[in-house]
Structures are given as C-alpha cells and as structure tokens.
Amino acid sequence: MTKIIQVGLGFWGFDWASTVIPRVPDIEVVAYVDPSEAARTRAATELKVDASRFFPSLEAALDAADCDLVLGTVRTDAHFPVARMALEAGRNVMLEKPFASTMREAHQLVDLAARKGKLLAISQNYRYFPAPRLAAKLFAEQALGPSDYVRLEFRQHGPSVGYRYWDMPDPLLADMSIHHFDLMRMVLGSEPRRIACHTWNTVESPYRFDPVGSAMIEFENGVRLDYHGSWMSGGTRTPWAGEWTIDGRDGELWWTSRDMFLDGSKPDRVVILRRGEAAEPQVLPDLPFLDRAGTLRATCDTIATGEAPKYFSSGADNLMSFALVGAALASAARNGAWVEIAEVLADAAAAETVVA
C-alpha cells in the first residue's frame, strides 16, 4: 500500500483525485492539500472524505500524516517549492510535466532527489499507451529496415477544443510539445543532439504568443525528425500524440495515439505500409494501466521495489525532454538557428545546488 499526500485540488488536481487515483489499486490518500478553503470543502464533499484529512499547506500535512509519496498536481510555478519541501522532508515526489519553470530549477530538484536518495517521478503520461510502446519495439527491431527520417505532425484548433490560456507564453513549445519531444526520445531510443525551430502566430488568432511551430531535430543515432505543431490548424485534427511516419528502408511505420478521447471508434493505431501492398494494421499490446493511471502505478511500483520499469520517466531522465524544449525556445528566439542540446544542459549544470 502506497500512502500519498496530494497537493493541489484545482481543476486538474480534482480530476486526479476523482478519476485517476481511484483507478489505481493499493493506494491510500492520507492527506489532501490546497490553500483554498473552497477547493478543500468541495473535494471533501464530492470525494466523501472526512474534512480532517484536508490541510491548507504541505507543511501542515507532513506534520500530521506519514506518507510514501507527495503527488503535486499544482501549477507549474508551484512545482519547485512543493517538490523541494517534500524532498527535504525525506519523501518521494511525483510531478506533472513540465516539472519546473526553468532548467535551473529542474536541475536543482534532480540534484536534491539524488542527494536525499528519494524518487523524483514525472508524469509523462503519453508513454503509457499501446501505440508508442509498439512503435518503440518495432523501431528498435528495425522491422522495416534501418530508418533515418521521421515525420510528426500535431494539429489542433484551440478555440474549438476549450483551450483558454490565451496569454500563456509559448503555448505550443512549452505546454504541448514536451509530450511529443518526450515520445521522440522514447520511441527512437536515442537522445536529441540539436534542433532548429521556427514559431509564429496566425491571422485572427486569440493567442498572444506563437501557437504554431516547425522544427528539424537531429538525434544521436542519426535520425532526423521533421516536426510540425499547431494550435490553430484549420484542417483535420490529429490525436493528441500527433501522427507519426517512420520512414524505413522496406516501408513506413505509421502510428498515432490518444485518440479515444475524441472518437471512441479510433483508439491507438499502428500500421505498416509497404510499396504496392495493402496496409498492415498491427495488433497492439495490452497495458493494464493507461495514461496518468499508468504513470502513477509505475511510480508506486518503483517505490515499492526500488526498480524502475522500462520507459519510466524520472526527473533525471526527463531533464533531456525538458532540455529539448529549452533548445527549441532558444532556436525560435534566434530565428531558427541550430541550438545544441549540450548548450542547454551546460546551463543547467551550472545551477547552484539546493541547500539541504
């Protein structure tokens, strides 16, 4: 049984409390934290939990309840103080992506977790779907021969899907693309080396900052990935993981994921396409826990066994996904100039260590 303190009961945090945590067995939420009395009252009422388990601060909750894991479901700018307090108190931590506001903060949290001997887990939930798991396996096996080129396209229309953060800086790269960048690393089994990126806004866009972008990303294994993402597409929307084409010597591997939330008739799909032959839909693997439930189950299992399962996203691992976002932002600010990932990581390594 994993004992959890959940911090954050806003819109997203309450969704975790009401729809995600109940799907994962062998978990006990021993305390809930939110500074808002209204949020605490609502959660106590709707979750049917005694009010004595709700606290206005993490400090108060840590004093009152013992736990194995602090689950932070708060705004990004609150990730750092919540995680730092929990780690310094000797607790394991799980955060949403992006797990810090800056590379400096991210590096400091990873360093603190290592020095305290505690787990810092990041909920990269797109990893916990069958299509990317199968795509990673087929790519590693070279099922279609060697591959050195991949295309990934993400198309959504923010005004039509309830997006409301019109003033968020870098709504594509900082908020959405980290999902795609993280999947790139997982599926290709390689780390990015450098990126060239352009972003822009569109006519009559409600976004204050650029919601559209294109990038070329080079990986250590020689793969070049052509990425395009848009929150203002006038065309057919893609699933949230985007539409992927992995170009191999003997055919194409096409796949997409996280479509069941838009159209239940089109869940994850993986298809092999060969010249002059009929499309070959692939049988997807069964995953017992999907999406955020998958990340939470994997985190609890890692705490219990001390061994991280394959594709687990720790803070140390996720630094590279976060660094790719930072490099993309830097490249866009330099009018599409190539930016080395090592440059961004070097800046993070220069961060001052958190004092324990």
* Nearest partner of 70 among 16, 118, 5, 24, judged by Cα: 5
Is 326 a member of any domain?
Answer: no
260 and 306, same domain (yes or no): no
| Shared domain check, 143 and 12 | no
> Considering the chain, what percentage of its residues have pLDDT values greater than 70?
96
Question: Torsion angle, CA of 180/182/186/189, rounded to 10 degrees?
Answer: 100
pLDDT of residue 71: 99
- 179: tokens are 């999902």
Q: Residue 254 in contact with residue 131, Cβ under 8 Å?
A: no
Residue 338 lies in a domain: no
Tell me if 335 is assigned to some domain: no
Confirm whether 322 is domain-assigned. no
Give the range of the structural domain holding residue 138, as residue numbers without chain letter. Answer: 129-281
Domain assignment present for 320: no
- The residues that bridge with 255 in the sheet, in sequence order, are 244, 270
Is 267 part of any domain? yes
356 in a structural domain: no
Do residues 134 and 273 share a domain? yes
Q: If 0-12 CB within 10 Å is exposed, 13-18 middle and 19+ buried, where does residue 11 land?
A: exposed
CATH assignment of the domain containing 251 = 3.30.360.10
* 133 shares a domain with 109: no
Helix (H) or strand (E) holding 52: none
Same domain, 192 and 138: yes
Q: How much is the mean pLDDT over the chain?
A: 95
| Mean pLDDT across 190-201 | 99
**Domains in the chain, number:** 2
CA dihedral 137, 143, 147, 153 (to 10 degrees): -60
Which residues make Cβ contacts (< 8 Å) with residue 248, sequence separation at least 6?
142, 143, 144, 145, 146, 147
Residue 308: which CATH number? 3.40.50.720
100 in the same domain as 8: yes
Within-domain flag for 177 = yes
DSSP annotation of 143: B
Pick from 218, 273, 264: which is nearest to 244 by CA?
Answer: 273
Summarize pLDDT for 77-136 with one digit per residue, the tens. 999 999 999 999 999 999 999 999 999 999 999 999 999 999 999 999 999 999 999 999
Q: How far is residue 180's CA from residue 217's CA, in Å, rounded to a whole number?
A: 12
- DSSP, res 176: I
- Whether 273 shows a pLDDT value over 90: the answer reads yes
DSSP helix/strand/coil, 72? strand
Q: What is the pLDDT of residue 165?
A: 84
CA 43 to chain CA mean position, Å: 25
**pLDDT above 50 (res 151):** yes
pTM of the prediction?
Answer: 0.94
- Paired strand residues for 197: 215
Residues 175 and 107 in one domain: no
